[in-house]
């Protein structure tokens, strides 16, 4: 999705805005609440490994939920900075 030195076209901006907007519309969950969930996830995972808390992406995937085939699910993409953190042993 990220191009080199290229500004996003308004078409892409519209599409990306809508995707985020409709997720919160559909599950009736505001962007603020998503931020809170994100912050809490970061807090919990940081106990066990060093993560890049600023670049966590979470989203609720409703694909298939509309037709009743699947339940919506929450996806979190958490970049790990260092897996072999000593903190892990401390948290016993």
Partner 1 sequence: MDNQFSTEQKGSEVIVVTSGKGGVGKTTTTANVGTGLAKLGKKVCLIDTDIGLRNLDVVMGLENRIVYNLVDVVEGNCRVKQALIRDKRHPGLYLMPSAQTRDKTAVTPGQMVKVIEHLKEQFDYIILDCPAGIEQGFQNAIAGADRALVVTTPEVSAIRDADRIIGLLEANGFKQMDLIINRLRMDMVRRGDMMSAQDVVDILAIPLIGIVPDDENVVVATNQGEPLVGNDTPAGQAYANVVQRVTGKDVPYLNFDKGISFWMRVSGIFHKA
Of 67, 54, 77, 62, give the one whose Cα is nearest residue 20. 62
| Segment contacting partner 1 by CB under 8 A, of 3-11, 34-42, 47-55, 84-92 | 3-11
| Cβ count near 51 (within 10 Å) | 19
Site string for partner 1, 41-80 (x = CB under 8 A): ----------------------x--xx-------------
Q: How far apart are CA 4 and CA 11, in angstroms?
A: 18
Which residues of the shown chain bind partner 1 in the complex (CB under 8 A)? 1, 9-12, 14-15, 17-19, 21-22, 25-26, 63, 66-67
């Amino acid at each position: 999705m990220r191009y080199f030195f290229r500004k996003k076209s308004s078409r892409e901006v519209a599409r990306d805005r809508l995707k985020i907007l409709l997720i919160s519309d559909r599950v009736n969950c505001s962007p603020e609440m998503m931020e809170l969930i994100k912050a809490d996830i970061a807090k919990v995972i940081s106990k066990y490994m060093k993560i890049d808390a600023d670049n966590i992406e979470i989203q609720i995937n409703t694909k298939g939920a509309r037709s009743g085939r699947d339940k919506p699910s929450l996806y979190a993409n958490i970049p790990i900075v260092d897996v072999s953190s000593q903190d892990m042993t401390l948290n016993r």
